[in-house]
Structure formats: structure tokens, C-alpha cells
């Protein structure tokens, strides 16, 4: 019906206007043609015109009530399709705004490990430790994201092998771009799986709201744009719960296995979906279902244990150290305060949605599980699957507790640790709200859904813009650009004095690094003289904030004065600079 098509088009234009207004829009060149959507005024004008046209037509024919009821029903029936479209947009946005940069420890650590696996290698040789009279410890020549191996002369990754293994083949094909594709796909999968959980719990509107909550989350977005493990592990856990609810224990176990390989410290949490799986089956089938779930998880655990044993000397020691070093009850007060502050700062849309869900939870509880939810495919069993709500709540709480006792950090982006919990709680909250919306009169239900969806997305995207989420590619571009420039200038036998970008520079240039933060003045002078004697070219490669630290730390050392012109300058927002060290060194 043309009139209803006009109504739908007006709402689509309204959504576009709001999203452009709060996010700032986008601009890019595609095939030499500039594509831009910066102004919200044009879609806003289109929305107003179309809405007026629909109102006039519907009022004359007396169809306002019917059209609104139709649109509310359409959203419920097609909510999962809309959620799929949002998941696809999430994937495309991750590619559009991706950093494609090995900036800092995390990104360079995952990318360099992926490169290592793509070469069928398991460690990297440290050539500086083999130099005559070299006395510095292995940690001084090991970049961020890596650590000295048990066997002297080798370096191994700090990070768990799961994500780099997933990246290995794409990285072999397309380098950093291929690795970014894996994270972008994970972003789409996470949104799709979380919305599918919500659809099982609360129908199409719940799926739509969940997709919006996750896809527009500032924490989710900023880590979907970077080659890091937080979004992939969220996708794996969301997939696991989706398959648990659908009654597919093997698929759920495979997803949980990926989650364990990507983020091993959450491995004990696999017991929670396992318990839900086994409870869903009659007594004679529980052992089999539990075995199907547990087998891939056990294989992933064995892989992680073997890698940790080979790399760190013990299957129970991670690249960050032992459990006793990382998990302490004394960390709870500081982490509780920081996470509460960060969640309110970074996720106001999620916090307000959760608060609303808690208010209406009594209403939502009555029909949180629609009859169409499928039971596990077990012969001779007509008993429906039990509600997974308790399992989801326990899982979310367990994720939070795991990071309350974890090491204390000082930056809001570490809310990323809680993304698996945020995904499942978003599904639960959306299901509760969707149940409450179904109790509204049909004439205002559609307006309520649209208003809520716009409020969620507008609040989240505005927050993301305020936090600089969409500037992360420009901020981190310095590493990629500096690496490319250095690769053109640096000698084959060269060493880079660096710290913050030690992992990225080693990954991008293939040259050895010397960590200035591991040296004092005497060690610096001695090392420079030895490298000069061995025919090495030496470069300082520093981020902006490191330059005054170097000058202060090595005051009186001419080679650390940085009072000559840098040969490399990179980065549109933050800068990374490189200086070739003159050959004027002495060991005194």
C-alpha cells in the first residue's frame, strides 16, 4: 500500500537525519568519487515532508490507527531482519572506520603473532642477544606484545593464540587489511548472535533493540575498529549462547572453544552454558549432550595449555604471568569504582535501557519466552527447553566478577573486558522492554518502538563521538605511517630505540628494537657504542609524549638530546617521529 510505504520512508529518513546529526556523518572517496553525508538537514526535511504527506492521506481516509498498528506489527514480524541489517551495517562500519594500524602493544601483538602463525613459526629469534659482549637482559630487546621465551635467544607472544590463529590465513593473503576483516566479521556476528538471543527471549522488537544497543555501543565500536580480541570473544560467547538456546550443543561447544582460545582467563565460564545444555535434556540424553559441548572446549583448553607450556614453561602460566599475579581480591574496590564510573561515562544508553528493563521486568517476565522458542532436538521428548535467563544472568555476573579481581587499569576503554556480559545483558533488557511494549495500545506501540530505538542509537552515537571513537583511525595512523616511512629509509642492519611503538615498529619494519625504558644512561651509551662497532644503524622512534621523557631520563647523553631534525614524522593527530642517531658515540 503506497500510503504505508510513505510512512515507512518517512521513518527511515528520520532515522538517517538523527544518526547523521549525532555521529557527524561520514565522507570518503570511492573510485575517485567523493561520497559524503555530513548534513542532517536534507533527510530531516525529507522526513518531515513524507510524514506530512502520510498524515494528510491517512487522516482523510481514517487510516491513521490502522497504519500505525500495521507498522508496529511489521517491526515485530521483521525485527530479526532489521537486526540482520544492523549487524551488516556494524560489519561495514568496522571496515570503514578501521585503523588498519598496528599501533601500540595490543594491535601489534595480535598482528605480529598472526604473521608468525602464517609463516608456520612459533617464536622469533632475538639477534641482539647473540652479539659479542652484549650484557643487557632479554627484556630490553623484547617489544611490547612479546616476552622472552624460556629458551634464551628467543621471543614469544604475550597474547593468547586464539585470535591470531583466526587471523593467520587472512593475514597471509592481505596483511593487516585481512586481519581487520576478521574483526569486522566478528562485529557483525556479535550483533547478529546477541539479537538472535533476544529474539528467542522476546521476539522481533527485542532483537532490533539488542542489535542497536550493541552496534552503537561506544566500547563495542572503538574495539571493532582495531585488531584486538574483545569483539571476537564477544561474538564467540554470543554465538555459544545462541546455539545453547537453539538446542545445538556441538555448535555451542565449538563457539565456546573459540572463546576459550581467544580469552583463556574466561575458560571456567564455559561451565555455565554447559549446565544449561545438560539441564535442557532428559536424564538419558544429558551425558551425550554434555559430551558434545565439552569436547571442543576441552580441545581448545588443551591447545592453550600446550602453547603456554611451550612458551612460558607452564600450562597454567599466561603471557601476563601466573593467576596469582593477575587476580587479587584486593583489586575489587578499585575496579568496582572504576568500572561503575566508566560504564556511566561510556555506556549511558545501555545503563538507561537496563534501568528501564528493571522497572518493567515483572511485566516482561510473564512472556519473556514466547511459545515459538525451540526445544533441543531430542527424540521422544516433548518437554520444552528450560529458560536460559538464569544461565545468562549467571554468565554476565561471572564475567563482571572475573574482571573485578583482575589487574587495575586507568582508562575507560577497559570496559571492553565486560563486552561479553554487555551483549547478553542487552538481550535480556531488550526482551523485558519488548514485553512491556506489547502491552501498549497498538496505536502508540510503533511510535514507542521508534522513539526508543532512536533514543538508544542517538545517545550511544553521541557519546561515541564525544569520546573520540570515530577518530581512533586518525589517532593510530601514526604507527602505520611511521612504519612505512622507516621501511624506505632504514638500513638492513638497524636497531630502533623505542618503547610505546616497539611492537608496531618491529612488526612493520622487521628490524630489532631496544627498549629505552629498560635502560639507564650507562646502559644506553654502552649499547650504542657496541651497536656502532657491529655496524648497526640506530634510530630513535618515539611518540610525542615519549620525547620529554627520553630527554629527562638520559640528560647529558648527546645521542638522546634529540636536538637534530627528525627524518620521519607521521600522524595527523598524534605524532610519531624518527631520528637517525649520528655516529658519534663513545662508551664513556
DSSP string, 134-165: --S-GGGG--TTEEE-SSTTEEEESS-SHHHH
3-state SS assignment for residue 363: helix
Please enumerate in sequence order all residues whose Cβ is within 8 A of that of 576, keeping only pairs 6 or more positions apart, or say none: 478, 479, 481, 482, 501, 541, 542, 543, 544, 568, 569, 570
Q: How crowded is residue 400: how many other Cβ atoms within 10 Å of its Cβ?
A: 18
Nearest to 472 by CA among 91, 89, 98, 215: 98
| pTM of the full structure | 0.91
Please enumerate in sequence order all residues whose Cβ is within 8 A of that of 226, keeping only pairs 6 or more positions apart, or say none: 98, 99, 103, 106, 107, 183, 472, 476
pLDDT per position in the chain (588 positions), as tens? Answer: 677 788 778 788 777 777 777 767 666 544 455 555 666 777 778 878 888 887 888 787 777 787 788 888 888 899 999 999 999 999 999 999 999 999 999 999 999 999 999 999 999 999 999 999 999 999 999 999 999 999 999 999 999 999 999 999 999 999 999 999 999 999 999 999 999 999 999 999 999 999 999 999 999 999 999 999 999 999 999 999 999 999 999 999 999 999 999 999 999 999 999 999 999 888 888 999 999 999 999 999 999 999 999 999 999 899 988 777 788 999 999 999 999 999 999 999 999 999 999 988 765 455 444 444 444 443 334 444 457 999 999 999 999 999 999 999 989 999 999 999 999 999 999 999 999 998 888 778 888 898 899 999 999 999 999 999 999 999 999 999 999 999 999 999 999 999 999 999 999 999 999 999 999 999 999 999 999 999 999 999 999 999 999 999 999 999 999 999 999 999 998 999 999 998 754 444
Amino acid at each position: 500500500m503506497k500510503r504505508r510505504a510513505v510512512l515507512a520512508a518517512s521513518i527511515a529518513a528520520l532515522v538517517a537525519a538523527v544518526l547523521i546529526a549525532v555521529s557527524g556523518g561520514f565522507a570518503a572517496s570511492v573510485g575517485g568519487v567523493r561520497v559524503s553525508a555530513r548534513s542532517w538537514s536534507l533527510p530531516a526535511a525529507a522526513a518531515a515532508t513524507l510524514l506530512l504527506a502520510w498524515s494528510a492521506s491517512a487522516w482523510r481516509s481514517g487510516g491513521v490507527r490502522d497504519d500505525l498498528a500495521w507498522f508496529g506489527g511489521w517491526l515485530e514480524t521483521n525485527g530479526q531482519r532489521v537486526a540482520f541489517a544492523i549487524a551488516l551495517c556494524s560489519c561495514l562500519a568496522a571496515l570503514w572506520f578501521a585503523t588498519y594500524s598496528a599501533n601500540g602493544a595490543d594491535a601489534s601483538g595480535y598482528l605480529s603473532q598472526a604473521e608468525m602463525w602464517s609463516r608456520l613459526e612459533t617464536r622469533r629469534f632475538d639477534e641482539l642477544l647473540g652479539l659479542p659482549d652484549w650484557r643487557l637482559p632479554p627484556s630490553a630487546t623484547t617489544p611490547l606484545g612479546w616476552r622472552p621465551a624460556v629458551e634464551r635467544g628467543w621471543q614469544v607472544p604475550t597474547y593468547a593464540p586464539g585470535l591470531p590463529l583466526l587471523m593467520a590465513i587472512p593475514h597471509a593473503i592481505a596483511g593487516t587489511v585481512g586481519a581487520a576483516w576478521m574483526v569486522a566479521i566478528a562485529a557483525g556476528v556479535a550483533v547478529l548472535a546477541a539479537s538472535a538471543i533476544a529474539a528467542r527471549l522476546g521476539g522481533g522488537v527485542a532483537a532490533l533493540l539488542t542489535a542497536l544497543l550493541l552496534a552503537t555501543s561506544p566500547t563495542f565500536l572503538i574495539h571493532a575498529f582495531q585488531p584486538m580480541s574483545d569483539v571476537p570473544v564477544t561474538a564467540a560467547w554470543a554465538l555459544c549462547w545462541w546455539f545453547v538456546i537453539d538446542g545445538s550443543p556441538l555448535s555451542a561447544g565449538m563457539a565456546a572453544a573459540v572463546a576459550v582460545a581467544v580469552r583463556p582467563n574466561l575458560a571456567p565460564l564455559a561451565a555455565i552454558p554447559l549446565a544449561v545444555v545438560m539441564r535442557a535434556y532428559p536424564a538419558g540424553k544429558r551425558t551425550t549432550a554434555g559430551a558434545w559441548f565439552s569436547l571442543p572446549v576441552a580441545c581448545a583448553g588443551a591447545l592453550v595449555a600446550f602453547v603456554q607450556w611451550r612458551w612460558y614453561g607452564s600450562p597454567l602460566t599466561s603471557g601476563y604471568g601466573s593467576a596469582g599475579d593477575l587476580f587479587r581480591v584486593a583489586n575489587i574496590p578499585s575496579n568496582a569504582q572504576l568500572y561503575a564510573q566508566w560504564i556511566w561515562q561510556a555506556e549511558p544508553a545501555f545503563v538507561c535501557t537496563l534501568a528501564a528493563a528493571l522497572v518493567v521486568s515483572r511485566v516482561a517476565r510473564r512472556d519473556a519466552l514466547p511459545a515459538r522458542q525451540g526445544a533441543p532436538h531430542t527424540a521422544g521428548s516433548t518437554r520444552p527447553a528450560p529458560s536460559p535467563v538464569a544461565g545468562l544472568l549467571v554468565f554476565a555476573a561471572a564475567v563482571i566478577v572475573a574482571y573485578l579481581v583482575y589487574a587495575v587499569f586507568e582508562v575507560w576503554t577497559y570496559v571492553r573486558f565486560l563486552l561479553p556480559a554487555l551483549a547478553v545483558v542487552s538481550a535480556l533488557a531488550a526482551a523485558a522492554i519488548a514485553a512491556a511494549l506489547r502491552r501498549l495500545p497498538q496505536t502508540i506501540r510503533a511510535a514507542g518502538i521508534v522513539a526508543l530505538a532512536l533514543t538508544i542509537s542517538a545517545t550511544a552515537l553521541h557519546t561515541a563521538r564525544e569520546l573520540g571513537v570515530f577518530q581512533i583511525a586518525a589517532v593510530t595512523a601514526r604507527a602505520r605511517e611511521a612504519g612505512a616511512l622507516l621501511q624506505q629509509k632504514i638500513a638492513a642492519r638497524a636497531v630502533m630505540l623505542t618503547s610505546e611503538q616497539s611492537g608496531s615498529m618491529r612488526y612493520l619494519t622487521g628490524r630489532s628494537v631496544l627498549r629505552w625504558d629498560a635502560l639507564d644512561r650507562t646502559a644506553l651509551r654502552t649499547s650504542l657504542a657496541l651497536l656502532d662497532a657491529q655496524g648497526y644503524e640506530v634510530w630513535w622512534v618515539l611518540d610525542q609524549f615519549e620525547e620529554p621523557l627520553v630527554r629527562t631520563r638520559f640528560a647529558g647523553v648527546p645521542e638522546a638530546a634529540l636536538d637534530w631534525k627528525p627524518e620521519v614524522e607521521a600522524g595527523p593527530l598524534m605524532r610519531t617521529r624518527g631520528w637517525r642517531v649520528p655516529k658519534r658515540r663513545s662508551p664513556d
